[in-house]
């Protein structure tokens, strides 16, 4: 029987959401439309419409030495053209955000090629070539894995993940990169490092509390508790035990 | 006795003011501290209108006195003489807060002098001021201003 990856154990809604986000064959539901320029503006790495800066000549002109690995691995578009390596970083609120930092990294490993993810307690960063980064950022911010109130793109001053929400339901942001207006829509007014944008970017309406609880990937005692998912607990314990025993193995 | 008012959300200025107004009507409270992350400096309305870097100080009005608010109120520490007024505090919170809250009992503001009070203030700290100033606050710069340099050149 052919091996079919399961990506994540468990039967609760949180486990199922984690599983589908990590599964590259699952097509994310698109919730909002952003233009390419919107994404470039929010990232703040280059001016919209400007050429990509390069750090090496295109691989076709590089005359690289003969190497079997180079023949097996297809370079990503940004590597082919020699783009700079840039980053995006997200902070996810622990109040039922659709994404959690660890899942972002697991997802980067299963869905995207040529990326370098880094996980911290409340934020996650992805580094890759500039044009690939823009494509990934667009996919993340347009689809169900992003909620404009509980998640935001934050290159610096990321504090907010573990704080209580503001009264209007937005995650605390010292730099106020995204702001809720009176009509209930969220607008991005600054780029990811807090520099003002020339024009605000419409991120749409935040999800309702019920919708967030349905889509969330965070285990919480007041939502889906981690201990309520026996299969997940069993697997986490198994991996932890094996890893610990392996650490004591003198032969390895 | 001290309690901490812990609302479910970080309060905006209007709600914080409403809650403090309610608390100020209660007799027997000796000290209060508002605590939270630093208040974002810009007004969201200005940001939506495309006006950046406009920094207007925000004030709380406490018993007719204007006090600059520098934090987004997340908790309020209250010290009282009589434990019996906790119920009144709960009632004030129910009136002012549109969401749930918790009242926790504990020690949140220092009640006795510590070494810092002797080092920084020479021990001259009265019972009300204990724990109410920032022990890490830097003293004002003792450097001469450029103007004084000019004066010296003259």
Helices (H) and strands (E) in chain B, counts: 5, 6
Is pLDDT above 50 for B150? no
Q: Do A180 and B50 touch (CB under 8 A)?
A: no
Compute the nearest-CA separation of B120 from chain A (Å).
31
Structure tokens at B12: 């905006």
Tell me the residues of A at the B interface, defined by beta carbons under 8 Å apart. Answer: 159, 163-168, 172-176, 179-181, 187, 189-190, 196, 199-200
Is pLDDT above 70 for A222? yes
Is pLDDT above 80 for A43? yes
For the stretch B79-90, pLDDT in tens is 999 899 999 999
Is pLDDT above 50 for B154? no
The hierarchical CATH code for the domain B2-109 is 3.30.70
Chain A residues closer than 8 Å to B72 by CB: 166, 172
In CATH, the architecture of A13-51+83-245 is Alpha-Beta Complex (3.90)
pLDDT of residue B140: 57
Cβ-nearest to A167 among B11, B37, B53:
B11
Instruction: Report the residue of B4, B5, B9 to disrupt the A interface, i.e. the one with the largest count of A CBs within 10 Å.
Output: B9
Q: Do B37 and A173 touch (CB under 8 A)?
A: no
Higher per-residue confidence, B154 vs A168: A168
**pLDDT-derived band of residue B151, with 50, 70 and 90 as boundaries?**
very low
Give the pLDDT mean for A85-106.
Answer: 96
Q: What percent of chain B has pLDDT over 70?
A: 88
C-alpha torsion angle, residues A31, A188, A152, B60 (rounded to 10): -130
Q: Is there a contact between A170 and A205 (Cβ–Cβ < 8 Å)?
A: no
Is pLDDT above 60 for B147? no
Q: Is there a contact between B26 and B82 (Cβ–Cβ < 8 Å)?
A: no
Q: What percent of chain A has pLDDT over 70?
A: 100
Is pLDDT above 50 for A164? yes
Give the pLDDT mean for A162-189.
Answer: 96
**pLDDT-derived band of residue A42, with 50, 70 and 90 as boundaries?**
very high
Q: Where in chain B is the domain with CATH 3.30.70?
A: 2-109
Cβ-nearest to A167 among B15, B38, B53:
B15
pLDDT of residue B62: 87
Is pLDDT above 70 for B146? no
Higher per-residue confidence, A224 vs B146: A224
Q: Is there a contact between A95 and A122 (Cβ–Cβ < 8 Å)?
A: no
pLDDT of residue B148: 46
Higher per-residue confidence, B3 vs B153: B3
DSSP secondary structure string for all residues of A73-135:
SPPPHHHHHTBPEEEEEEEE-TTT-S--HHHHHHHHHHH-SS-EEEE-SSEEEEEEEHHHHHH
Is pLDDT above 70 for B37? yes
Give the pLDDT mean for A46-66.
Answer: 93
For the stretch B102-144, pLDDT in tens is 999 999 999 888 898 888 888 888 888 888 877 677 665 555 5
Chain B residues closer than 8 Å to A176 by CB: 40, 42, 44, 47
pLDDT of residue A50: 95
pLDDT of residue A134: 97
Instruction: Report the residue of A96, A161, A179 to disrupt the B interface, i.e. the one with the largest count of B CBs within 10 Å.
Output: A179
- CB contacts < 8 A, A to B, total 52
Q: Do B48 and A189 touch (CB under 8 A)?
A: yes
Cβ-nearest to A176 among B8, B12, B47:
B47
Is pLDDT above 60 for A53? yes
CA B133 from centroid of its chain's CA atoms: 10
Chain B residues closer than 8 Å to A168 by CB: 12
Give the pLDDT mean for A116-127.
Answer: 94
Is pLDDT above 90 for A14? yes
Compute the nearest-CA separation of A167 from chain B (Å).
6
For the stretch A188-215, pLDDT in tens is 999 999 999 999 999 999 999 999 999 9
Pick from A161, A155, A109, A162: nearest CA to A136:
A109
Q: Do B7 and A164 touch (CB under 8 A)?
A: yes
Point out the least confidently predicted range of A138-142, A184-188, B114-118, B142-146. B142-146
Point out the least confidently predicted range of A61-65, A71-75, A238-242. A61-65
Higher per-residue confidence, A107 vs B134: A107
Pick from A87, A94, A217: nearest CA to A160:
A94
Cβ-nearest to A174 among B12, B37, B99:
B37
Round the average pLDDT of chain A to a whole number and report it: 94
pLDDT of residue B116: 84
Q: Cα–Cα distance between A158 and A193 in angstroms, integer?
A: 9
């Amino acid at each position: 029987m052919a091996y079919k990856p399961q990506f994540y154990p468990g039967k609760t809604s949180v486990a199922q959401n984690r599983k589908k986000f990590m599964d590259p064959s699952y097509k994310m539901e698109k919730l909002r439309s952003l233009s390419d320029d919107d994404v470039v503006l929010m990232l703040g790495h280059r001016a919209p419409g400007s050429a990509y800066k390069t750090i090496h000549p295109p691989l076709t002109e590089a005359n690289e030495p003969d190497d079997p690995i180079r023949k097996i691995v297809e370079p990503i578009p940004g590597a082919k053209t020699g783009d700079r390596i840039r980053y995006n970083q997200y902070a996810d609120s622990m109040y039922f955000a659709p994404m959690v930092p660890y899942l972002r990294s697991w997802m980067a490993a299963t869905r995207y090629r040529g990326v370098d993810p880094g996980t911290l307690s409340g934020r996650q960063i992805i580094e890759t070539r500039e044009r690939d980064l823009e494509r990934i950022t667009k996919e993340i911010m347009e689809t169900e894995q992003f909620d404009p109130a509980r998640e935001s793109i934050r290159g610096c001053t990321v504090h907010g993940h573990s704080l209580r929400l503001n009264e209007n339901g937005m995650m605390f942001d010292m730099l106020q990169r995204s702001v809720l207006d009176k009509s209930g829509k969220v607008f991005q007014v600054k780029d990811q490092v807090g520099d003002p944008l020339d024009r605000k970017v419409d991120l749409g309406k935040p999800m309702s509390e019920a919708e967030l609880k349905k889509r969330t990937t965070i285990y919480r005692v007041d939502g889906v508790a981690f201990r309520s998912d026996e299969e997940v607990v069993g697997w986490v314990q198994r991996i932890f035990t094996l890893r610990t025993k392996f650490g004591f193995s003198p032969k390895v | 006795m001290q309690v901490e008012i812990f609302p479910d959300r970080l309060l905006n200025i209007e709600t914080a003011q409403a809650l403090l107004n309610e608390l100020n009507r209660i007799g027997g409270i000796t000290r209060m501290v508002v605590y939270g992350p630093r208040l974002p400096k810009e007004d969201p309305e200005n940001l939506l209108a495309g006006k950046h870097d406009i920094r207007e100080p925000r004030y709380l009005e406490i018993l007719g006195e204007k006090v600059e608010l520098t934090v987004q109120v997340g908790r309020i520490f209250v010290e009282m003489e009589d434990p019996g007024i906790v119920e009144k505090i709960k009632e004030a919170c129910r009136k002012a807060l549109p969401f749930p809250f918790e009242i926790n009992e504990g020690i949140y503001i220092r009640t006795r002098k510590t070494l810092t009070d002797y080092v920084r203030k020479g021990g001259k700290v009265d019972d009300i001021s204990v724990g109410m100033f920032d022990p890490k606050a830097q003293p004002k710069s003792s450097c001469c201003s450029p103007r004084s340099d000019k004066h010296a050149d003259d």
